[in-house]
């Protein structure tokens, strides 16, 4: 089965001809070695150059199932780090290559152990979490050291991070440890999920998350942003999704540099295991004809026998389906990229504008290139985690539709692992903190965007209908808003509130709430506040009122200040406000409404009042007031029609032997 699509081939040829705009930097010339008699060894990984002699070469390489997801392009050649078995496939297919480094694990180990930061220890730099430290594996934490870090985090911050718990076991029986960070797990909050080391040779994916976790914990109560995230989000972390592969690398290369990628299921005769990031469903993704995975168990992109055939991916699937994660990071390294769905389909998702907007903000500081797989690396990936987490816009019987915002950061550039044009599967110790800092903002924003996020568009506006405050009277002002957007991935209860320092002003309603689903915006919304000006206020006095728009669980809010002026003359205590001359039933506001509105009526004298609501057939649907005594003056009653269908309703006032009726319209 082909593992590289025609569209991928066309994209890569275009990039080669016109130059890569992503993270593939130009590298110094490397003269391929002429070694036709050398027999590649199955247990080694090699740095090679593949001349692109014809327009078919890249397609031929991809069709063999060779892992080309971390390659460099220089002039008319492809440079990659491939297994001995993959080189044999190239040779059998008649594709020439030159070997530059015969043992990448040994090369990485030499680079890692000679790094001055690894030798001398991590310096205490300003802004670096106090408890963040390097690991013993070339600066990277081993599996046991990750476990110790999780235990230490809970020991130091038991109220902010849970004890570690296993979401399942690997093929060889190791636990897949996971923790939650949140100050309150009892109250439902928007959820974000971070995972790493699904590929065993990519430890920088994990190190940057450990850095972020320490930043959250140590800055809680000190930094407003860290405190907001811990108080208003539930953040889950699975740091080592592939513990068997990672431990295999440690046992064989204890100083770092191990090149095993897959889990350790005993399949194939060489390079055993399944590529966990090609093992996700549903079937329409896992077996898509676009290619991007291999059916050959000896290759690095072997997809397994079926979607979720591996205990590691099944554990991740079970855990995430039991929670409502709104945003997800599936961490990898390297390439300085931020990739989003689709990987298997040669198109973007229905949420492409959201993915682009989030990615633009997340990469504002680290300048990672963002886009789909085809837009960033020029190849398809079927059976990858991003596609499964997002799902299909409409399942159509083929699979689930989750619509989570799921992305893959590829941490690090071409030279973070060593000198020359080497890769960065194993970043040098001196690069671990800078690379972690590069991804601090994306990690923060992933949690922030999981919840509601109030944003104002370019043409946003909030206008008032009145800025007069009549002395001794009750008055109202309407406000109209437009361009208010819920930029987050959780529904929002948008709240408008009003306040003033003027002691002679009393607000009779100081909040107004409106529902705004994620991804939606208000093209126009009108509501009002009612206030009363004291009878002894001084005429012509100017005062400020502040209208604030915000939402629970949103990191953003906006405020506007307006100047009001008192009008009229002071009212003596004997005269009081003018009373209605007759029974009056005002039009409700707002009208039309959804789902609530306010009814207003006035009494010339104290009276017993009944106020009822009927549907258009005359059927009583709700009694708002029954036999209650009211004083003379103006009064208001709220009516909530959340459980009623759209339609025309009548509201009827009975008082002092009189009956008044008006109509109102509910539109849902």
Active-site positions?
410
Give CA–CA dist 478/655, Å, rounded.
Answer: 29
What HEC string does 285-325 produce? HHCCCCECCECCCCCCCECCCCCCCCHHHHHHHHHHHCCCE
Structural contact between residues 274 and 308, judged by C-beta atoms closer than 8 angstroms? no
- Local structure of residue 162 (DSSP, 8 states): P
User: CA separation (Å) from 524 to 459, 461, 498, 529?
Assistant: 12, 9, 19, 17
Give CA–CA dist 308/11, Å, rounded.
Answer: 30
- Local structure of residue 277 (DSSP, 8 states): G
Q: What is the DSSP secondary-structure string of 592-658?
A: SBSSEEEEEEEESS-EEEEEEEEETTS-EEEEEEEEEEE-SEEEEEEEE-TTS-SEEEEEEEEETTE
Please name the residue that has the structure tokens 């399949």.
Answer: 267
User: In the numeric block, which tokens belong to residue 503?
Assistant: 């002691």
Give CA–CA dist 372/352, Å, rounded.
Answer: 10
Give CA–CA dist 382/342, Å, rounded.
Answer: 9
Structural contact between residues 297 and 401, judged by C-beta atoms closer than 8 angstroms? no
Sheet order of strands, 191-195 included: 165-169, 175-181, 234-238, 191-195, 325-330, 405-410, 337-339, 369-371
CA nearest 267: which of 234, 235, 305?
305
Q: Is residue 525 within a helix (H) or strand (E), and if so which, with residue range?
A: strand 525-533
Give CA–CA dist 13/59, Å, rounded.
Answer: 10
Q: What is the DSSP secondary-structure string of 25-93?
A: ------PPP--TT----TT-EEEEEEE--STTHHHHHHHTT---SSEEEETTEEEEEEEHHHHHHHHHT
């Amino acid at each position: 089965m082909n593992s590289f699509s025609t569209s991928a081939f066309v994209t890569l040829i275009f990039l080669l001809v016109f130059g890569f705009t992503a993270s593939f930097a130009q590298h110094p010339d490397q003269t391929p070695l002429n070694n036709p008699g050398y027999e590649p060894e199955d247990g080694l990984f090699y740095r090679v150059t593949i001349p692109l002699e014809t327009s078919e070469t890249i397609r031929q390489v991809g069709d063999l199932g060779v892992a080309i997801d971390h390659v460099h392009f220089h002039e008319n050649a492809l440079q990659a780090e491939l297994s001995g078995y993959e080189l044999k496939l190239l040779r059998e297919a008649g594709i020439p290559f030159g070997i530059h480094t015969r043992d990448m694990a040994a090369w990485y180990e030499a680079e890692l152990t000679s790094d001055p930061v690894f030798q001398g220890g991590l310096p205490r730099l300003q802004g670096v979490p106090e408890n963040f430290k390097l690991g013993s594996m070339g600066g990277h934490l081993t599996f046991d050291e990750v476990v110790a870090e999780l235990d230490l985090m809970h020991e130091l911050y038991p109220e902010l991070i849970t004890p570690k718990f296993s979401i399942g076991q690997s093929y060889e029986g190791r636990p897949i440890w996971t923790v939650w960070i949140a100050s309150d797990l009892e109250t439902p909050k928007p959820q974000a999920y971070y995972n790493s080391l699904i590929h065993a040779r990519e430890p920088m994916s994990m190190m940057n998350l450990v850095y972020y976790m320490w930043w959250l914990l140590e800055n809680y109560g000190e930094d407003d942003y860290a405190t907001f995230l811990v108080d208003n989000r539930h953040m889950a972390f699975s740091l080592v999704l592939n513990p068997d592969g990672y431990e295999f690398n440690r046992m064989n290369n204890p100083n770092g540099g191990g090149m095993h990628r897959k889990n350790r299921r005993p399949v194939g005769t060489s390079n055993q295991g399944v590529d966990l990031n090609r093992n996700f469903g549903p079937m329409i993704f896992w077996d898509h004809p676009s290619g991007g995975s291999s059916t050959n168990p000896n290759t690095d992109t072997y997809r397994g026998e079926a979607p979720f055939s591996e205990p590691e991916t099944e554990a991740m699937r079970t855990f995430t389906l039991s929670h409502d994660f709104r945003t997800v990071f599936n961490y990898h390294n390297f390439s300085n990229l931020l990739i989003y769905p689709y990987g298997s389909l040669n198109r973007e998702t229905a949420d492409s504008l959201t993915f682009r907007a989030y990615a633009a903000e997340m990469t504002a500081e680290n300048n990672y290139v963002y886009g789909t797989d085809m837009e960033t690396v020029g190849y398809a990936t079927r059976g990858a985690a991003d596609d499964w987490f997002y799902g299909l816009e409409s399942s159509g019987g083929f699979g689930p539709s989750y619509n989570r915002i799921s992305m893959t950061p590829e941490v690090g550039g071409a030279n973070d692992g060593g000198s020359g044009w080497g890769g960065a599967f194993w970043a040098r110790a001196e690069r671990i903190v800078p690379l972690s800092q590069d991804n601090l903002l994306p990690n923060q924003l992933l949690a922030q965007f999981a919840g509601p996020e109030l944003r104002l568009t370019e043409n946003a506006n909030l206008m008032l209908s009145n800025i007069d405050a009549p002395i001794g009277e009750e008055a109202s002002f309407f406000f109209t808003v437009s361009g208010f957007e819920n930029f987050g991935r959780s529904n929002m209860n948008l709240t408008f509130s009003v306040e003033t320092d003027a002691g002679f002003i009393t607000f009779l309603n100081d909040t107004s709430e409106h529902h705004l689903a994620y991804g939606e915006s208000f093209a126009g919304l009108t509501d009002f506040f009612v206030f009363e000006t004291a009878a002894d206020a001084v005429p012509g006095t100017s005062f400020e009122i502040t209208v604030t728009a915000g939402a629970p669980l949103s990191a953003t809010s906006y405020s506007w200040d307006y100047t009001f002026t008192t009008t009229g003359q002071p009212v003596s205590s004997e005269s009081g406000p003018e009373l209605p001359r007759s029974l009056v039933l005002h039009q409700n506001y707002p009208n039309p409404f959804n789902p609530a509105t306010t009814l207003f009526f006035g009494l010339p004298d104290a009276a017993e009042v009944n106020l009822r609501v009927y549907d258009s057939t005359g059927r009583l649907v709700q009694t708002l007031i029954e036999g209650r005594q009211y004083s003379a003056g103006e009064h208001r009653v709220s009516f909530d029609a959340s459980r009623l269908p759209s339609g025309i309703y009548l509201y009827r006032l009975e008082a002092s032997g009189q009956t008044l009726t008006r109509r109102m319209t509910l539109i849902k």
